[in-house]
Amino acid sequence: MAVRFLLDGEVVELPAPDPTGTLLETLRGPLRRTGTKEGCAEGDCGACTVLLGEADGGRVAWRAVNACILFLPMVHGKAVMTVESLAPDGRLNPLQSCMAMNGSSQCGFCTPGFVMSLHGRAIGALGCELPVADAIAGNLCRCTGYGPILAAGEAVQSLAQDDAAALAGLSGLTGDAIVDGVFQGRQWFAPRSSSDLVDVLAAHPDARIVAGATDVGLWVTKGLRDLDCLVFIGDVADLKTIDETAEGVRLGAGVRYAEAHGALARLHPDLGELVRRIGGLQVRSSATVCGNIANGSPIGDGPPALIALGAELTLRSAAGRRTMPLEDYFLDYGKQDRRAAEFVESVFVPRPVEGAMVHIFKLSRRFDSDISSVLGAFALTVEGGMIAAARVAFGGMAATPRRASACEAALVGQPFSEATIAAAAEALKRDFIPLSDVRGTAAYRIEAAAALLWRLWHREQGAGVSVLDVEPC
């Protein structure tokens, strides 16, 4: 089977490529599109940023992605836009002109990636409503200090994009699904419906499920692992639903972080702020919320917040569906309650009740595009000055994201007071014996976790608690 995608209106056909080869390798190698760079091969620097487009009604929905960790069959049936696409006749587009004139490039190696991120924002790609700095949080520049790049993004807020050719080309590619392919000895499945997914997994219970590949991609580019059987769920139409109701939000397994951002932010602004700080936009435009759960990271910025909000996880297999509180899914380090041939189908996040105290705090060395040292999430119900209910969850404090039961016990039934906070902070030491690692020592984690309880307290008193909210004198 061949992988086919659209590049500047032309169909590119790659007969039987290695399905774990990346889009970047193909662009830079056989396609000679060397404008797209490899800076890290792990989705952390953005030098390889390209736009990926899919037909969405009468338009093309574009999103910025890191080509370095995108498996080639994941672009099958889609349109790809690279930096070379922007000036086909050698005339720079207004964004490129602005960046060339204002000093946005020095060494120039990161520049194509920035161009693509800002171009995506200007043509209405996924996440385009974000401020410029957020649109380029997944792009690293080591030379400029970012000033001119930010200025260029501010100066060129929108650009016309003629998608007619891409739309026509994409319609020509529809119906050309890879449902079951064997490439160079590796199996690649791309079911179109969840029932097909059930069947594929029933037949291949050991298949590796891939949604955005922002994690599994690194197993190949960094771990140099051989993955011989993969199931790509990004084309499963009925897993892409966002069901937003008065009760809460249900996200299908195919819903990417950037797509869920609005709905999650409407559940609570802290959740929106957390999503803003999960990876860069390229990562959030590929990575799914359920994938972030399914892979069982001990930090996993999404899960502790969702646990505190009382989220429920639904798993599915040929044997039917199972629903469980999200915290029950995480059994131990690297071990989750997912059975053979089972997949995470959706997560439901209930809407916080009116008046609930919800606070979600992420601590990391760098504010953007960094993994938490500690993530604390709190949902308290306070009635008549007394804490009636408390859900407290942490990431980065144990082998899994999990609830702080001693802390919760120290809160529930107590007055919402400094003394109670102090007791609850003390109780955290019974909940967690964190490890020291590259993101923080155990001592820092314990101290910072307690500090987050105090941040909750001071914030509820109306004090300024976030350095991100402060203006210069």
Nearer to other proteins (CB atom), residue 31 or residue 202:
31
Q: Which CB, 27 or 251, lies closer to other proteins?
A: 27
CA geometry: angle 460, 463, 469, nearest 5 deg: 110
Beta carbons of 65 and 50 less than 8 angstroms apart: yes
Q: What is the closest distance, in whole angstroms, from the C-beta atom of residue 67 to other proteins in the complex?
A: 12
> CA–CA separation, 388 vs 415, rounded Å?
9
469 neighbors 401 (Cβ within 8 angstroms): no
Nearer to other proteins, 164 or 473 (CB): 473
3-state secondary structure of 375: strand
DSSP code of residue 22: B
Q: Which of 286, 256, 288, 276 shows the shortest CA–CA distance to 49?
A: 286
* CB of 52 or CB of 150, closer to other proteins: 150
Beta carbon nearer to other proteins, 11 or 133: 133
- Name the minimum Å distance from CB 287 to other proteins: 14
* Number of residues that this document lists for the chain: 473
CB 393 within 8 A of CB 349: no
Closest separation in Å from C-beta 366 to other proteins: 4
CB of 95 to other proteins, least distance (A): 8
Q: Which is nearer to other proteins, 254 or 291 (CB)?
A: 291
Minimum CB distance to other proteins, residue 69 (Å): 12
- Taking alpha carbons only, the member of 4, 63, 68, 69 closest to residue 36 is 68
Contact 109, 45 (CB under 8 A): no
Q: Is residue 145 packed enough to be buried (19+ CB in 10 Å), middle (13-18) or exposed (0-12)?
A: exposed
Calpha distance 429→406 (Å, rounded): 9
CB closer to other proteins out of 149 and 239: 149
How far apart are the C-alpha atoms of 260 and 206, rounded to whole Å? 29
Closest CB to other proteins among residues 145, 269: 145
**Cα 358 to chain center, whole Å?**
22
CB of 391 to other proteins, least distance (A): 21
Look at strands 248-252 and 312-317 and give their pairing: unpaired
CB of 171 to other proteins, least distance (A): 28
C-alpha distances in Å from residue 314, one per residue of 31, 143, 246, 258: 42, 46, 19, 21
Rank residues 209 and 421 by Cβ distance to other proteins and give the closer one: 421
- Cβ 226 to other proteins shortest distance, Å: 9
How near is the Cβ of 47 to other proteins at its closest, in Å? 6
- Whether residue 111 contacts residue 47, with contact meaning beta carbons closer than 8 Å, is answered with no
Nearer to other proteins, 115 or 390 (CB): 115
The least CB distance from residue 15 to other proteins, in Å, is 18
Residues 326, 306 contacting (CB under 8 angstroms): yes
Q: What DSSP line would sit under 85-151, residue for residue? A: GS-TTSPPPHHHHHHHHTT--SS-SSHHHHHHHHHHHHTT-TTTTS-HHHHTTT---SSS-SHHHHH
